[in-house]
Structure formats: C-alpha cells, structure tokens
C-alpha cells in the first residue's frame, strides 16, 4: 500500500503532461494556387507590375516565372 502511494504523484504528473500535450495549438498551412495572368502582356521583368495586374484580376499577388527572356506573370491566391 505504501509503494502505491509513492507511485501516485509521478503517475499523475505523467497523465497531466500527456493531456497538456494533446491540447496544444495546431498550425495549418494553406495551399497557394497559381494561374497564368490573362491580362499581363509581354515579358515579366518586374514583379511589382505583375502583382498589380494580378490584383486587378482578383488574385492576392503575382510572381514572375521562367527563363531570362521568356518570363511570364503568374497570379497567386490561397486555395
């Protein structure tokens, strides 16, 4: 009986730690979808221009992708 009383505090501490670890916050990363801009004309040299055109198309932002002379504007949004 005496040994079971000595084991009670460590067992309770272990249970408390298990319960506390299960109630932590969960972070969910949203996916980012890209679509080629329908309104951007020419080669995409400055992302500021791409971003502004994409915002007029209803997207969150825009980035340039491609090789040096064949860069295209791709609009991004969270999906």
Please give the domain boundaries of the chain with CATH numbers for all domains. Answer: 2-78 (3.30.30.10)
Answer whether residue 64 shows pLDDT above 70.
Answer: yes
Give CA–CA dist 10/79, Å, rounded: 46
pLDDT (0 to 100) of residue 27? 61
Partners of 22 in the beta sheet? none
Q: Is the pLDDT of residue 62 over 90?
A: yes
Question: pLDDT tens digit string along 1-38?
Answer: 566 677 667 665 555 544 444 455 556 677 889 999 99
61 within 8 A of 33, measured Cβ to Cβ: no
């Amino acid at each position: 009986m005496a040994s079971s009383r000595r084991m009670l505090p460590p067992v309770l501490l272990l249970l408390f730690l298990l319960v506390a670890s299960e109630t932590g916050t969960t972070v969910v990363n949203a996916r980012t979808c890209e679509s080629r801009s329908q309104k951007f004309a020419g080669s995409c040299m400055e992302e500021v221009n791409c971003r502004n055109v994409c915002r007029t198309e209803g997207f969150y932002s825009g980035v340039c992708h491609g090789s040096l002379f064949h860069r295209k504007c791709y609009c991004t949004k969270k999906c």
